[in-house]
Every structure is written in C-alpha cells, then in structure tokens.
A = this chain, B = another copy of it.
Amino acid sequence: METVYIGADIGGMTIKLGCFAEDGELIEKWRIPTRLEDKGSFILPDTAMSVKERAAKRKWMVAGVGVGVPGPVTKDGEVLKCANLGWDVFSCKQKMTELMEMENIEAVNDANAAGLGESWMGAGRNFQSMVMVTLGTGIGGSIILDNRVLHGFNGAAGEIGHMKVEYHEKDVCGCGYRGCLEQYASAKGIVRIAKKYMKEGSHIYINKDMLNAKMIFDGAKKGDESCLEIVDKFGEYLGTALSNVSCVVDTEAIVIGGGVSKAGSILIDKVSEWYHRKSLYALQNKTFCIAELGNDAGIYGCAKLVIGRGKQWQK
C-alpha cells in the first residue's frame, strides 16, 4: 500500500483530481464531471466516491484530501456561499471529513489553491512569499506568505480581480460593481478595452467580431500599433494594481498565470514596466514570472494543504 494525498479542484464543469506522493510527485490525475443538480449536493459525494474507488483499484492508502472551491472559504474550511456550484454556507471541510471517513481534510478557495501549488512546486518555489494572479475569463488571486495561504477573515484575501482601478467606469463588472481590475485585465476585459482603442486598418479591427486576447498579444508581437496600444493599457492597469497589492503585502515575487499568461514575455515585460513606473523605491525589488503548473496548480495546492500531517484513511 502506497501512502498518497489527494488534491480535488472543483470547477463549474469538471472536478480535477490528483494523487500525490509526500514529496510532491504527481502520481496520477483524472477528472469527473461536476453535477450541478439539486444545489450541487452531489459534488462532494461524487468526489469522495471517485477517490475511494480509485484508491481501492490502485492500492493507495489515502492519507489526506484537500478540496478547492470556486468561492470564498474560511481558514476553518467553511464555504461562504458559492454561486457557481449552487452552494450555500456550510462546512465543506466537515462534510468531506464525513464522506471520506478520515480526519486529514482541508478546504480552500481554488485561486488560493493554485497560488499554493505554484509556491510549492511551480514558479514560486524559490521565493518566501508571492502573489499569484490568474488571468482567465475572470481574474483570480492569492497571497502566499511563508508557503501558507493567507485566507483572510472572510476567506476573501487575494480577491485582487475586484480591486477598483478606475473611478469613472460605466460598465458593470460580474460582481455588480464598477471599475474592477477584472474589467480591464482578464481575457474578457482585454477584449473590452481593445474595442475602445483599436483603429481602422489594424488586423484586429478587421476581425473585431471574433476578437480574443490571444489575437491582441499576437498582433502586438508583430508590431500592430493598435495592439501595442491595447497591451500598453492592459499593462498600465495590471502593473498599477500589482503595485497597489505590493503596497499592502510586499511579497518577494509576483507570479502570473491563467490562459492570458501564455502570451509570455511581452506580457511580463509590459506589466513589470508599469509596475516599476508606479512603485515606491522600496518596492522596486520585485521578481515577476509566469506560472509553471498550468491547470494542475489547483490540485498541487489542494494536496499541499494536507501533506505531511495526515491521519490515514482506511476502508
């Protein structure tokens, strides 16, 4: 019997599962669908069942399970509503403890899990503290200090996508407020600002109805003027916001992940340039890097929460 730890990263469509050795080696990963019926009541039982079945087949001794949730979670593993899954307030940690019939269980916000994963085995592994910002459809974030997640009193630390970066915005963000970073620097946000700044003659103007963030970064790499201007605006918003984040927590590194980060060095260079243009002398010493674990960051972080402290689960 091999002693293993499970990371379960619950998303709105699928639940990603990873089985890890104590040293962080990813032994196996798999996915199951997320069933949203009946207010998401099948999600945790499905997860537990899948883990137990696979453990029986593979002869794993599961010594801990960490669960990532796409919504605010307190340090004690209590979910404070999760609209994407239909969940109301309840203790995810306790429910999973019952389902798994074991004690070494934790629950954490999924963005925090991704940050912890990168900090443990990814781009942040050589830094004592880091901010992780995930640029996807929306923007997720997390603060990792001494290899531990900063949860916050309401489980909402690291929600940097909803920092206000503009006082004069008229459009409304998904959160119901105006001027959130997410409205400018997420995949959707970049397209939104592109529509303001693109000019006739630019290749993105020609393709404006099917525009996406990748097209804009690709255009900028080729020297398209509109695209360069849009990437500069994106860099100003994100770099300034990250400067503000640093005024609060001053971490050693800032790690940028999510689909948009695939743009690579042009993105890092622009964000870093604006960061330095906006930051105090004392905050100039900051390392920027691209995340390394991709979609696996969440399962790594979930597993890390329970590794090396576990009581064992046995049938």
Contact = CB atoms under 8 A, between A and B. Distances in A.
A279 to B, nearest CB: 8
Contact of A251 (B72, B152, B236, B243): B152
A283 B154 contact: yes
DSSP class of A's interface residues: helix, strand, loop or mixed? loop
Contact of A159 (B72, B150, B278, B283): B283
Copies of the polypeptide in the assembly? 2
Interface in A215-264: 236, 240, 243-252
A244 B246 contact: no
A158 interface: yes
Interface stretch (A48-56, A114-122, A163-171): A163-171
B163 A247 contact: yes
A211 interface: no
A143 B150 CA distance: 12
Contacts of A250: 151-157, 159
Interface residues of A, number: 46
25 contacts: A80-B282, A128-B153, A129-B152, A145-B150, A150-B249, A152-B246, A152-B249, A153-B250, A153-B251, A156-B247, A156-B250, A156-B283, A157-B250, A159-B247, A159-B250, A159-B280, A159-B282, A159-B283, A162-B247, A163-B243, A163-B244, A163-B247, A165-B167, A175-B281, A249-B249
Interface of A: 72, 80-81, 128-129, 143, 145, 150-160, 162-167, 175, 177, 236, 240, 243-252, 278-283, 285-286
Given A153-B286, A177-B278, 7 more contacts: A152-B250, A156-B283, A158-B247, A159-B247, A159-B280, A165-B167, A167-B236
